[in-house]
């Protein structure tokens, strides 16, 4: 954790909450924007009465809007809660997981609805929704022209306008946004890309994506979307989920993929944490979170903790400010060894080209005991550290 001199737990919690207020505000703004955009009539695109791709029957949804909310929102939220609270035991991880998921869904729904209104593509069941009057004979397209909604006798404008919102698929985009975020969250906790090829881990991570795919396919079965609508909607959901996940969590290939980035709280007067009022060094100003495991006890047995052999813990580092007598401490990541030395009460880690603060070959990053130890697989670390016997 990070603190100012004289900070109390309550004041730190208050500062932590306010540091993420802009993120929640953006998500709320996107959600409100969706309801405003959804009231706009879609573009009235002309159509041909001979177009068989829009002549399918109008039928009920297999996945209703309420079921979609459960799949895309409730399921990820519940799983993130269970894993972060009962497995990780980190309220900060819970906050970051929920925030990332909500942001992904909010972005997705605004992007999707904006495209629906702008494009105005007809659904496969549009002619059925239109209810064209054929009492005086079957109408035909004007010579060298197309027909318009003026032929429709549908009294319920909601049904009619919804028939002009085929592209892209909202069910597909939302289900893939929620389920992809959950898959990424699980992949990080399980350390899917630890270069050991665990098939069971991959299967667990792919289950949410399979659920999203079934939702997407149901939209073509119900004649609500063309396959292009489903494909583009799915890609939108995947893209927003990845964007939101990486906003709060490191890469899945990181040795600390199970931890969110550290809280956005200035480390004002904490020794070894940079200038007063500064933020810990890193590509985004944060380092991965340290809430749950200050002593780097990565050798616990819980598979979802992401510690199952990913990092081999040979020595406990002294608490912040404790004497270390200048002796190096080695921490091994697979075949790599990272050298840690005490520097003025903090630890200096020799890291050839760490993306979390490294400035190139032979760069050193000074950080307190709870800083993460990273490595570059393409190079070996410098210093005198050796593989423990």
pLDDT digit string, tens, across residues 74-132 = 999 999 999 999 999 999 999 999 999 999 999 999 999 999 999 999 999 999 999 99
Q: How many whole angstroms separate alpha carbon 295 and alpha carbon 370?
A: 7
Average pLDDT over residues 317-339: 41
Q: What's the average model confidence in pLDDT over 263-287?
A: 44
The pair of structure tokens assigned to 301 is: 């047995």
The DSSP letter of residue 58 is P
Mean pLDDT of 258-271: 70
Q: Residue 7's pLDDT band (boundaries 50, 70, 90)?
A: low
The per-residue pLDDT for 157 is: 94
Give the pLDDT of residue 6: 52
Q: Is the pLDDT reported for residue 270 higher than 70?
A: no
Handedness of CA 319, 321, 322, 324 (dihedral sign): positive
Q: How far apart are CA 8 and CA 10, in angstroms?
A: 5
Residue 286 has pLDDT above 60, yes or no: no
| Share of residues in the chain with pLDDT > 90 (%) | 57
114-142 as b/e: b if 16+ CB within 10 A: ebbbebbbbbbbbbbbbbeeeeeeeeeee
Q: Whole-angstrom Cα distance, residue 310 to residue 334? A: 7
Helix axes 75-82, 91-119, angle to 10 degrees: 160
Burial class of residue 388 (count of CB atoms within 10 Å of its CB; 0-12, 13-18, 19+): exposed
pLDDT range class, residue 185, cuts 50, 70, 90: very high
Catalytic residue of the set 171, 258, 370, 375: 171
**Per-residue confidence band for 9, with pLDDT thresholds at 50, 70 and 90:** low
How many CA atoms are closer than 13 Å to the CA of 34, on its beta-carbon side?
A: 15
What are the beta bridge partners of residue 132?
A: 152
The answer to whether residue 191 is catalytic is: no
Check if 225 is active-site.
yes
Nearest alpha carbon to residue 257 among 317, 210, 304: 304
- The pLDDT score that the predictor gives to residue 266 is 60
Q: What is the pLDDT confidence band of residue 384, given thresholds at 50, 70 and 90?
A: very low
Residues 6+ away with beta carbon under 8 Å from 32: none
pLDDT of residue 108: 98
Domain residue ranges in the chain: 9-248, 295-389
DSSP structure class, residue 86: I
Please confirm whether the linkage preceding 41 is cis (ω < 30° from 0): no
Q: Which of 225, 226, 324, 331 is catalytic?
A: 225
Total-model pTM: 0.69
Helices 91-119, 227-248: crossing angle, 10 deg rounding: 150
Q: How confident is the model at residue 196 (pLDDT cuts 50, 70, 90)?
A: confident
pLDDT band (50, 70, 90) for residue 137: confident
């Amino acid at each position: 954790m990070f603190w100012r001199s004289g900070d109390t737990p309550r004041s730190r919690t208050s500062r932590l909450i306010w540091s993420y207020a802009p993120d929640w505000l953006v998500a709320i703004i996107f959600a409100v924007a969706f309801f405003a955009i959804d009231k706009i009539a879609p573009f009235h695109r002309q159509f041909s009465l001979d177009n068989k791709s829009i002549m399918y029957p109008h039928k009920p949804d297999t996945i209703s809007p309420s079921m979609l909310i459960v799949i895309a929102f409730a399921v990820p939220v519940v799983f993130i809660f269970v894993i972060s609270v009962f497995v990780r035991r980190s309220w900060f991880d819970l906050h970051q997981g929920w925030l990332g998921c909500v942001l992904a869904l909010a972005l997705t729904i605004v992007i999707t609805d904006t495209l629906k209104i702008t494009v105005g593509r007809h659904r496969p069941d549009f002619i059925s929704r239109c209810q064209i009057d054929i009492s005086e004979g079957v109408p035909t397209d004007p010579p060298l022209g197309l027909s318009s909604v003026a032929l429709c006798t549908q009294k319920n404008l909601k049904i009619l306008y919804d028939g002009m919102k085929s592209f892209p698929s909202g069910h597909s985009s939302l289900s893939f946004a929620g389920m992809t975020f959950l898959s990424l969250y699980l992949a990080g906790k399980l350390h899917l890309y630890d270069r050991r090829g665990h098939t069971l881990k991959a299967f667990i991570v792919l289950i949410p994506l399979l659920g999203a795919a079934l939702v997407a396919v149901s939209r073509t079965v119900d004649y609500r979307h063309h396959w292009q609508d489903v494909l583009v909607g799915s890609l939108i959901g995947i893209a927003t989920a990845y964007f939101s996940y990486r906003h709060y969590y490191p890469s899945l290939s990181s040795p600390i993929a199970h931890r969110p980035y550290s809280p956005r709280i200035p480390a004002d007067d904490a020794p070894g944490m940079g200038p007063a009022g500064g933020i810990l060094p890193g590509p985004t100003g944060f380092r991965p979170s340290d809430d749950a495991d200050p002593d780097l006890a990565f050798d616990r047995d819980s598979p979802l903790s992401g510690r199952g052999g990913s990092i081999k813990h040979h020595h406990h580092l002294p608490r912040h400010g404790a004497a270390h007598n200048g002796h190096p401490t080695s921490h091994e990541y697979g075949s790599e060894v990272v050298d840690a030395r005490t520097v003025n009460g903090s630890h200096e880690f020799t890291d050839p080209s760490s993306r979390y603060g490294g400035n190139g070959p032979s760069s050193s990053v000074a950080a307190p005991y709870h800083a993460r130890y990273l490595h570059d697989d393409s190079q070996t670390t410098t210093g005198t550290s050796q593989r423990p016997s």
